[in-house]
Amino acid sequence: MASSSWTNRIKATLVGAGLGLAVLMSGNWWNIYTHHVPQCPAEKNCVADFVTFYAAAQMIRDDRQALYDLERQQIYQNRIAPVEKVLPFVYPPITAAFLAPLAWFRFSTAFLLLTLVNLLLIGQSLRLLMRHLSLSTDQAHWLMLFTLCNFAVHGVVFYGQTSALVLFFLTLHVLAQRQGSRAAAGVWAGLLCVKPQYLAVPHLILLVRRRWREFVVGAAIGSLLIIGMFLWIGFDASAQYFQLARRMVSADSDWWNQWRGMHNLRVLVIYALPEGWHAVAWWLLSAIVVAILAWFNWPAPKHTEDYASRWIVNCLGLLIVLPHLFTHDLTLLIVPCALLLSKVKAPVPLAIGIGLVMLAILPALSSLVPAIMAVTLVMLFTASLVFFLRETDPLAGNVK
């Protein structure tokens, strides 16, 4: 009884911490809503990402052949907010197509609508995870606390980011595989093309596990949407996109490609090695992680399969190999968090619950302790891989 009382007090305290974080970051939302610029007084060229998204939504509708012309992008952005330098839109045209409906509204209204859509997508993702993973009340409480205290989630909501859409598609994809819904798993995997960097690993897993129907459906949907949109904007605009994309992947110093804000293998390589080794080391380490994921997902006898364990490892591996993993992308940690909670017997031990909340808050310290989140994700990937492999007896072939 005393233990339950202490748990409730800690949960109440964490709710207050999450709400406090929301209040703290809401000033940024209000600034973008009213003045079209975020709160970043220390930076000379302070541009909200949503300005870029909104300008791209207008351009895909009115001027699609100039979608990746930086001069035209700056003209459109200057109509929204005064920008000294263009903040390039470097997503593929399919992403601009998803954003296109925002162009029907004025900037502030569109920003408000995206905020509401993000909240709905995050809420629906939580609801689906809690229902399909059969989380207990206590497990659901800790999942909601992880979300409420999640610095990345607040970044998505209060900065107008698009990672909630990726979270929603990834949630549906993972749950569809759990339910054995083959066509649906392929559809949701294909729709991850909204941010194409998320496409490769889920489709590799489908291929390795010989889920031919899901792989074909996902690859077809992703390819048709991506290629179709490139054909629609024309050859010249497509060529400009690939020039920008190449620069985004290879450059470490552009102000709009701030690698210090990333949390992946790439940032660890940049910090740890001389510049000449960055590309080679990053590709090599990424290839190793992908090979590990392929081996880990190799089909095994059904009685040894552990769906939750496998997808915790898959999600963490996916995140650390992404070319660009910024704070708002860490919203996707909601999926492995829910899977971990589903493996823990209720009531959830306080150490695990508090540990998850600390992980949710950790990205806020990145400016003080560079790469702390990247190191943490790599450690979690390694630990989860080792721990979940030890659950299976290599001699008997049974789950312990």
**29-43: b or e for each residue (b if 16 or more CB lie within 10 Å)?**
bebbbeebbbeeeee
Place of tokens 């209204």: 109
**What pLDDT is stored for residue 247 in this prediction?**
77
pTM confidence score: 0.93
**What pLDDT is stored for residue 400 in this prediction?**
42
**What pLDDT is stored for residue 85 in this prediction?**
80
241 Cβ neighbours under 8 A, 6+ residues apart: 67, 68, 90, 92, 93, 230
> Residue 152: is it exposed, middle or buried by C-beta count within 10 angstroms (0-12/13-18/19+)?
buried
**What pLDDT is stored for residue 186 in this prediction?**
94
Regions of the chain with pLDDT less than 70: 1-3, 41-45, 249-257, 259, 300-305, 392-400
Beta bridge partners of 399: 392
**What pLDDT is stored for residue 179 in this prediction?**
85
**What pLDDT is stored for residue 319 in this prediction?**
96
CA distance 206 to 118: 28
Structural contact between residues 147 and 76, judged by C-beta atoms closer than 8 angstroms: no
**What pLDDT is stored for residue 395 in this prediction?**
47
149 Cβ neighbours under 8 A, 6+ residues apart: 14, 17, 18, 21, 357, 360, 361
**What pLDDT is stored for residue 300 in this prediction?**
66
